[in-house]
Structure 1
Amino acid sequence: MCIPLVTGRVFVWDDLAAFHLPVRHLYREALRTGDSVLWTPALFSGAYLFGEGQVGMAHPFHWLLYRLLPLGVAFNVELVSSYIVGLAGMWMLLRRRVSDEAALFGAMVFAFSGFNLLHLSQMNAVAIVAHLPWVLLAIHSLLTSSTRQGRAAAFAGVALLLASQMLLGYLQYVWLTLVAAGCFVLWLLRGGAPTSRLVPLVAAAVLGVCVGGVQLLPTLDVLRHSVRAVTTLEFRLSYSVPPINMVQFWSPYALASVGHDFGVYDSAFSTAALAWLVVRWTAMKRRDLILGLLAFAALALLLALGRYGGVYPWLAEVPGLASFRAPSRYVLLVHLAFAGIAALVFEDLADITRRRERIDVRRLWPLAVPLALNLATTVTAATLVESRWATAHELALSGAARAGVGSALLGATTLLLLMAGRGVRWAVPALVVLVAFDLGLWGYRYAWRIAPPQTIDEIAARVPLPDAARPGDYVLPIQGQEKRNIPVLRGFRLSAGYLGLNPRATLDYDDPLAQRLAGVAWRFTDAGWVRVEDTMPRARLISNVQSSDRIAEDIRHIDIAHMALTDRAVDGLSGEPGQARVVTDRPGRIVIQATAPGTQLLVLTERFHEGWRARDGEREYPALRVDGDYVGCVIDAGTHRVTFTFAPASARNGLWLTIAGLALTAVSTWRLWRQRRFR
């Protein structure tokens, strides 16, 4: 994982190069030049990038990384640090119930789980997941600590950890953390934790949300204006794990193609460990914890099935969750449970070999069940590969060679478990090495085989641009999600792009009329790059304006160079169109020198948002939505220096909410620290 860092390259698979690297480039450039990080003109003719969330611009760690380090180094450190933090957190959590070495093994299974490695391309999601064991650890301390100092520290920990997750901007994974935390709290209450401790726990969670307000409110603002503001049930159920994918648990390579959204495999050890529990059930310690983990894994797997499980469609109707898709992400919680089970089984294996206990071979027969299932599946897949039956059922199966990899891994794991059960001491460390290899082989196959790491210059060169184009030009990006954002690495601006929350648009980005309105200079066609003719200037003055509630239809019947449409009446305009000149054009701040013979409408090719403010000295002009998607304002006759500044209320209110949350967290922590009696 650190190889790209030491070789000057970065991982490029899927969203890493298509989304995360370009938007972090924009973030770093804004920090470097002192521009606003709230808004970027480089995507969608302007986008509230801060509110999109997935850069985590408000997170102190990200600010330090991208303010102080080169882009490639910062990108790699951000990516790698999540796995280190997750490893350390899970080790700290598990060592409260198992030995240090068993806790470290379980932490490895969690940090480098099939889910976490397959989601390498969703780096902010992995960063939020890395917080999960730390959140559970803080909750455990808050509900069980016998000292007021311990409770106070845990209270602050819960609040600040949840806030840190919120600042990373991927709310679905914060929700998954809350699901895990809720189940964990129920288990602790069952074990005797006082219910009175729920009051400070809920208070800490609420304060954590408040501290994350600087990101939460802008994200909700962007969501309200995005294509995901209203979703269908079909959208919410997309990326449900098909039941056929359950064969991955015992034969992960039998299916020829398993996308990262549908991977449920978490090493042969996690599968064989379930059989080991059958062998050793009466001798296992902490059977109540094992039952809890198994129930939690079963619930999470049922939710991951989405449309096929029967439960998730009900959950998808809950307000606040309706913007989420991909029930498959609940696999994260399955693998969290597997990590706990792995630690408990590993401790049992270590105890057996330490005592040189020898389990009767006849009692170990359950270990053969997963292997038998694997061999049967491998033979079936190899027999039916490319058959009419497989084609008719849309099944892409593997041949014997590929499917046999899973057989070899499960066979080796089963053999080492058998040897450990017979007291062979070296079998336990051998299992550690095998599990690490197994997880890496499964999780890294995309990141290395399909798209090996590249330098940032190599990534930027992926998309050819016209020779006559210059940085700063607006271009309509090439079709294909993996290349749409790449031109921003070379200083170009895009009239469309790729974000997690794409803004709603009145006109289709591919519409030639929309391209002219956006000031697009170049667009890509089947014949290559062509120049867009008669495109609108960056700023222009219009004296002929009509109001319309059907802008998408009416705009096709006007001359856009001499007339504009607004969603409200604009009266009193007069004179021939004046002159407008761009003085400053920076992210979130555009200065226009305009001279108008009469009252006229000043129009930019920048996307409209309610957060835009237009001022001329002490005078403020109301920002208007023009031609459906663009910002403008009405100015009086004369010469004006109009400054457009992006200052949305959501960012301002979010900042105040964060300040209030921090203050209340500090005061509450101090009071808990000083409190003499607390049940």
Structure 2
Amino acid sequence: MTAPAPGAVPAARAGRTGLTTLTVLTVCGLWVWLAWPWISGAWTVPWDAKAHFQPQLQFLAGSLSRGESPFWNPNIFAGWPQVADPQSLIFVPAFVLLALVNPAPSFAAMDATVYASLLVGALSLFVYFRDRGWHQAAGAVAALSFAFGGSAAWRIQHTGQVISYAAIPLAMMLLARALERRSLGWGLLAGAAAGVLALGRDQIALLGIYLLIGQVVAAVLFGDGMGARGLGGRVAGAMKPLSAGAVAGLAVVVVPVVLTLLLAAESNRPEIDYIGAGRGSLHPASLITAVIADLFGQGDPNVHFWGPPSAAFGVTDIYLAQNMAAFYAGAVPIVAILMLGLGRGLLAAREIRFAAVMALLTVFYAIGWYSPVFTLFFDWLPGVKLYRRPADATFLLGFWIAVLGGYLTHRWLDGTVPPAGRLARALQWGLALVVLVALPVAFGLHADRLTEAVKPTATAILFFGGALLALELARRLARGRAALLAVGLLAGFTAADLRWNNAPNESTAYPPATFEALKPDTSDPTIRFLKERTRETATGPRRDRVELAGLGFHWPNAGMVHGFDTVLGYNPLRIDTYQAATAAQDTIGLPDQRLFNAMFPSYSSVMGRLLGLRYIAANVPLASIDPRYDTGRIVEIAQFGETRIYENRDALPRALFVTRARQADFARLLETGRWPEGFDPAREIVLERLPAGVAEGARDGGSATAEPGRVVIAAYHNTEVVLEVDAAQAGFVVLTDVWHRWWRAELDGRPAEMLKADAIFRAVQVPAGRHTLRFTFHPFAGAWADVVERLARGRKG
């Protein structure tokens, strides 16, 4: 972001107006009004916010309240390295604080935390404007547009990305102060803020970091905000704050980022190919939603969505939810950009030129494969290949609309807009007619939805006209004692505009009762039944798992809220070997999303038994999901409304003692699903490498009636599992939790080798006798060992 050019109005002028406190109070008051539908609990943010992030928050809060580490999650995917998951919320300060003070955060509490983060970003943007001496009414417009416009409004359910987005203005403002003042202290704060931004480890955080890099380059190369000291002087002046910032930023971010990179390397998506990313491109026609809110029916339940990528529009080869193509940010910023920025060429002004260039590059990035520029981004920008939706850049596009629109509003209020000639006026109104009339009519005719386009287009024209009137009146009030009225007029109009056009809708707000199953004290009968049954059967070696198949979008992660373990879950990331072993997809919210594969061909299979999958809840007869299951061994035991609950009587205990070992190639086993002939998972294990002294098939366990050994789960916590073993003969203890390098095993207090058994589980060889076997999770030591190992391999290579 650019800093003030020489000649910019000094910040002291803004201070002399005495408006700062009143303007901040105005923004905060309007924030309450705009956020009230959610923070009051009348509505709640749906979709990913509830299906994915609410369970993450509840797992974090519940773990902390029990005094447990939240670093490993046993409730999904047979175990998951939560500490490395970028969407776990473990490293988000606001959510950690909420989890510490509230062991069962409500929907409203979570929503309020998200909106409070946006308020911090909005006020940081206002301070940035004030530092530049830009009119405070313009700063208020930018702040409200930032917090309640663009993708921040339409994609509020993408909690992690919203939190990253909210951190950008704070980091930008602190970095600008650090560079302008050559300050070590501001540099430390800026670096820490940039580190918090990078903790998001999502595409918004990545683009935000590139924004900050561009801000530094613009300041050093072009003197923006650093004065005309010459390039050498500017470089020298920037070294102290940037060095301090680098130290602070790395201290905050290096460990979480390394953990996530290591997880990504062994996940189902170590990186995305160009076609995979391209399918997440924003269709260029969707850019019209910056001007006309809800043109395509994204938020109207009475209108069947007809914009790209719908069949009605003739575009179906991109994979985006309908709300991802909506980012209306307010009429005042759009009027300013169209009429002043483009119509009168003010986007070329030196003090905002960098932001204008960045906004254009953001458009190229967002539209992905519709622009040849994205190929360069994809091939040359580090980190881009980790993400599958360039359309996520609409968050940044909303940010630039707020900044550019706010700056141009300042120019209008400050009286520094040059008079418009005949050509400029023709260009201004020509642009307005194209985007407000010609384009929506053309799109409506193209999709045969002209009737549906009338209402949103007429609404946009009405608010466009209202913004023109508000800007004209505000300019007359902008100076002297009436300046507060200008703030109230523009901030109030912007808030009313956003309250109307970005109102709670089917993309952003649902009744809280919709998500009853995710409340810790739920009355949902299915959840209550499963919690009771899993508690009853959690004895001896058992800790039975559950599957929630096709119950609805918000169900798969319910185990994280209620403390029972599931075979699958909802997460775009999975450990690659676990996905190969179970056919795990992002989610199983719908029945047809429950897939099977060679390794897990049916609930009635070796893998189904090993996973200890005891209870299956489905909203359809189980045969429609798995026609191959054994109806004699998997039986229906309860029904609540449309939900049927089945019990798998072949499910094995979580902890097993076996005496025989077979050798097999795990990669081949995962590919073909062909276990060794006659393999019995209750009596033997498969290993890639047999331990010294163990022969293939050795120790057959004696007679069928003899019990070679017993295992009891003495303690089971997130990051510690203790087993008591009583073995009549030597053998192996198998724990059917996912094997991961960061787990360690101890046998009677001494380190023991943790073997990978049956392709994905943990096992330890034990001698005859009584023993205590303890598994503990060590992510930081494990990650350090991984890094050292990779560096050593790199040197050898």
Q: TM-score band, normalised by the shorter chain?
A: 0.7 to 0.9
Match of 1:546 among 653, 656, 662: 662
Shift of residue 431, structure 1, vs aligned partner: 4.0
Go from structure 1 to structure 2 and tell me whether the alpha carbon gap of 1:574 and 1:95 turns closer, same or farther (over 3 Å shift). Answer: same
Residue type of the partner of 1:41?
A: P
Q: Which residue of 1 aligns with 2:20?
A: none
**Whose relative contact order is higher, 1 or 2, with alpha carbons under 8 Å and at least 6 apart?**
1
Equivalent residue for 1:188?
219
> Secondary structure at 2:581's aligned position in 1?
coil
Residues 9/432 of structure 1: CA separation in 2 closer, same or farther (3 Å cut) = closer
**2:168 is equivalent to residue 132 of structure 1:** yes
Superposition deviation, residue 154 in structure 1 = 1.4
Classify the secondary structure of the residue corresponding to 1:530. strand
Q: CA RMSD in A?
A: 3.4
| Matched AA of 2:396 | L
Aligned to 2:209: 178
Counterpart in 1 of 2:493?
Answer: 434
Question: Which residue is 1:675 aligned to?
Answer: none
Q: Which residue of 2 aligns with 1:233?
A: 274
Report the residue type matching 2:118 in the other structure.
Answer: Y
CA-CA distance at 1:653 after TM superposition: 4.4
Cα distance in 2 for residues equivalent to 1:345 and 1:176: 24
**Cα deviation digits, residues 205-245 of structure 1 (max 9, x gap):** 35412332332222223212211124322222232111121
- For residues 189 and 427 of structure 2, the distance between their equivalents in structure 1, rounded to whole angstroms, comes to 43
| CA displacement at 1:320 relative to structure 2 | 3.5
How many Å apart are 1:179 and its aligned residue?
1.4
Equivalent pair of 1:114/1:439 in contact (CA under 8 Å): no
CA distance in 1, matches of 2:243, 2:265: 27
Aligned equivalents of 1:645, 1:127: Cα separation in 2: 32
Match of 2:608 in 1: 515
Classify the secondary structure of the residue corresponding to 1:590.
Answer: strand
- Judging changes above 3 Å, is the alpha-carbon distance between structure 1 residues 568 and 441 closer, same or farther for their aligned structure 2 residues? farther
Q: 1:619 to 1:485 in 2, by over 3 A?
A: same
The one of 75, 78, 81 equivalent to 1:48 is 81
Q: Residue in 1 aligned with 2:131?
A: 96
Q: Which runs of 5+ in 2 are unaligned?
A: 1-33, 227-233, 298-304, 308-321, 536-543, 585-595, 622-643, 702-707, 789-797
Alpha-carbon spacing, 1:379–1:260, altered in 2? closer, same or farther (3 Å): closer
1:359-415: CA deviations, max 9, x gaps? 89997555533442222344445555547xx9xxxxxx8342344333332343344
Q: Establish whether residue 296 from structure 1 lines up as the match of residue 358 from structure 2.
A: yes
> Is 1:158–1:205's contact at 8 Å kept on the other side of the alignment?
no
SS, match of residue 386 in structure 2: coil
Deviation, 1:278, is 5.7
Residue 477 of structure 1 corresponds to which residue in structure 2? 548
Aligned residue runs from structure 1 range 592-603, under 5 A: 592-603=723-734
Counterpart residue type for residue 255 of structure 2: V
User: What is the SS of the residue equivalent to 1:515?
Assistant: helix
Counterpart for residue 628 of structure 2: none
Distance 1:183 1:9, change over 3 A: same
TM-aligned CA distance change 1:378 to 1:165, over 3 Å? closer
Q: Does 1:157 align with 2:220?
A: no
Q: Distance in 2 between matches of 1:359 and 1:489?
A: 60
Against the structure 1 CA distance between its residues 601 and 400, is the aligned structure 2 distance closer, same or farther, given a 3 Å change threshold? same
Pairwise CA distance, 1:595: 1.6
Q: 1:502 to 1:285 in 2, by over 3 A?
A: closer
Structure 2 distance, partners of 1:50, 1:10, is 31
Q: What is the CA deviation profile of residues 493-535 of structure 1, one whole-angstrom value per residue up to 9, with x for unaligned ones?
A: 1111012422221312443233322111112453132112311
Q: Aligned equivalents of 1:60 and 1:111: distance in 2? A: 19
Instruction: Give the equivalent residue in structure 1 for 2:318.
Output: none
- With over 3 angstroms needed to count, the CA separation of the structure-2 counterparts of 1:32 and 1:291, relative to structure 1, is same
> Is residue 19–residue 498 contact of structure 1 (8 Å, CA) maintained in 2?
yes
Aligned-partner Cα distance in 2 for 1:231–1:362: 47
Structure 1 residues 435, 650: CA separation in 2 closer, same or farther (over 3 Å shift)?
A: farther
- AA aligned to 2:192 is L
- The one-letter amino acid paired with 1:555 is W
Whole-Å Cα distance in 2 between the matches of residues 380 and 241 of structure 1?
Answer: 19
> For residues 253 and 765 of structure 2, what CA distance do their matches in structure 1 show?
37
Give unpaired runs (5+ residues) of structure 1. 391-396, 658-679
What code does the residue aligned with 1:412 have? Answer: G
Match of 1:208 in 2: 249
Aligned twin of 2:403: 340
| Residue type of the alignment partner of 1:518 | L
Runs of 4+ in 1 over 6 A off after TM superposition: 357-363, 421-428
Is residue 231–residue 323 contact of structure 1 (8 Å, CA) maintained in 2? Answer: yes
Deviation at 1:202, TM superposition (A): 5.2
Q: Distance in 1 between matches of 2:101 and 2:190?
A: 29
> Per the alignment, in what secondary structure is the counterpart of residue 43 of structure 1?
coil
Q: Percent identity?
A: 20
Distance 2:347 2:282 in 1: 33
Question: Is residue 517–residue 527 contact of structure 2 (8 Å, CA) maintained in 1?
Answer: no
Partner of residue 26, structure 1:
59
The code of the aligned residue for 1:324 comes to Y
| Cα 1:601/1:567, change in 2 over 3 Å | same
- Distance in 2 (alpha carbons) for counterparts of 1:209 and 1:619: 36
Deviations 1:92-140 (A, max 9, x none): 1111221233222222222222121223112222222222122122222
Aligned to 1:107: 143
Q: 1:273 Cα deviation (Å)?
A: 1.3
CA 467–64 in structure 1, closer or farther in 2 if over 3 Å, else same: closer
Q: Which amino acid aligns with 2:674?
A: D
In 2, Cα distance between equivalents of 1:451 and 1:404: 27
- Give the 5 Å matches for 1:16-415: 16-69=49-102, 70-72=104-106, 74-97=109-132, 98-145=134-181, 151-167=183-199, 169-189=200-220, 190-191=222-223, 193=226, 194-200=234-240, 201=242, 204-205=245-246, 207-256=248-297, 257=305, 259-277=322-340, 281=344, 287-318=349-380, 319-352=382-415, 364=425, 366-373=427-434, 374-383=436-445, 386=448, 398-415=452-469
Deviation for aligned residue 1:645: 1.0
- On the 8 A contact 1:9/1:454 being kept in 2, the answer is no
Q: Could you say if the C-alpha distance between residues 3 and 49 of structure 1 is closer, same or farther in structure 2, counting changes exceeding 3 Å?
A: same
Alpha-carbon distance in structure 1 between the residues aligned to 2:38 and 2:293:
30
Q: 1:649 to 1:280 in 2, by over 3 A?
A: closer
- Structure 1 residue aligned with 2:740: 609
Tell me the amino acid that sits aligned with residue 108 of structure 1: L
Cα contact 2:135–2:413 (8 A) shared by 1: no
Which residue of the partner structure matches residue 792 of structure 2? Answer: none
The 1:154/1:307 distance shift into structure 2, 3 A limit, reads same
Q: Which amino acid aligns with 1:543?
A: T
Task: Kindly indicate whether the alpha-carbon contact (under 8 Å) linking 2:735 and 2:763 is maintained by their aligned counterparts in 1.
Answer: yes
* Structure 2 Cα separation of the partners of residues 336 and 279 of structure 1: 18
> What secondary structure, in the 3-state scheme, does the structure 2 residue paired with 1:227 have?
coil
Could you report, residue by residue, the CA deviation over 1:605-658 in whole angstroms, capped at 9, with x for unpaired residues?
Answer: 21110111111233111111111221121111111111111112457749x99x
What is the identity, as a one-letter code, of the residue corresponding to 2:73? T
Aligned to 2:131, the other structure's residue is in SS state: coil
* Partner residue in 1 for 2:626: none
In structure 2, give the amino acid aligned to 1:600.
G
CA distance in 1 between counterparts of 2:610 and 2:249 reads 43
TM-score, L = length of structure 1: 0.85
3-state secondary structure, aligned to 1:204 = helix
Opposite residue 475 of structure 1, the aligned amino acid is V
Q: Is the 8 A contact 1:476 1:515 kept in 2?
A: no
